[in-house]
Structure formats: C-alpha cells, structure tokens
Amino acid sequence: MNPRLEYIQNRIGQVITDSPSEISNWLQMTPVMAENGKIVVTVPVRLDMTNMMKTIHGGMVATILDDLCGTVCLISAVDFFYATVTLNVDYLRPAQIGDVLTCTAEVVRQGKTIINVHATLTLPDGKMVARASSNLINTQIKTY
C-alpha cells in the first residue's frame, strides 16, 4: 500500500497536525475520505484566512485547492513529489468566518509525467465556493 495514502486514511476524522507540509498543518485540514485518485477534507474558515470584508481571501481559496491537488497526487502516484504547473481557479461565492468548507480533489488523468486534477470547495449546504483544474508534474524527487 502507498504509505502516504495510509497516513491520510489513519487520520480520517482528525485534524492534521503532523504533516511534513507545514501549510497542511496550518490549514487544519481534517480528512473525511481518501482513496487512490480521490480525497475529501474539511477546512475551517478562520479570521486569519480572511480579507478586509471578513470573507475568505481568494489566495486562501487557491492555497486550499492547490494543497489538496498536490495531496491527491501524493496518495495516488508513484513515489515522487509533484509540483503545480497550472492552477486555474473559478471563484463562485464567498465563505464566512466559522464556515467549515469541504474540499474534494480527484485525479482526472494520470500520465507518466503530468497528472490532471479537478477540485472543488463547497459550503456546508453544498453550494460551491470555488472549483479548480490543475496540472502537476513529476519532479523526479523521491517522497519519503
């Protein structure tokens, strides 16, 4: 079994605090589901993630989506890190402090060098905050 997938699966329902990725720890992601090719997590919207209007900052939305796109590659791919080549984000509606967002990332196509991933970020009522499409490239740097 992929040890990175096993790591996430062993933390279902728990806030991630011991990831090698400091941004994942800072985001306070809680895995809901993880399998080869798909991951679902929740992320709380905190004050330090907001803009002047006190809604989630667009950069934070992109960070959450990008982090999860990378994570789904790590749990689905061979033992190499993947780096983002493109990240296209559609911002659809705001999220407020206290909202717990659900982020889903799914591999669309996995080639030898490039992995294409689609991701969504939704409010508790299912309304979409943002969606993304990303291409990530195999760095040839071994994971641990």
Q: What is the per-residue pLDDT across 64-84, written as a single tens digit (0 to 9) for each? A: 999 999 999 999 877 889 999
pLDDT digits (tens, 9 = 90+) for 91-130: 999 999 999 999 999 999 999 899 999 999 999 999 999 9
Looking up tokens 């209007």, which residue turns up? 53
Distance of CA 69 to CAs 23, 52, 72, 89, 111, Å?
Answer: 13, 27, 5, 12, 15
CATH architecture of 3-142: Roll (3.10)
Give tens-digit pLDDT for 27-45: 999 999 999 999 999 999 9
Q: Which residues contact 118 (CB under 8 A, 6 or more apart)?
A: 105, 106, 108, 131, 132, 133, 134
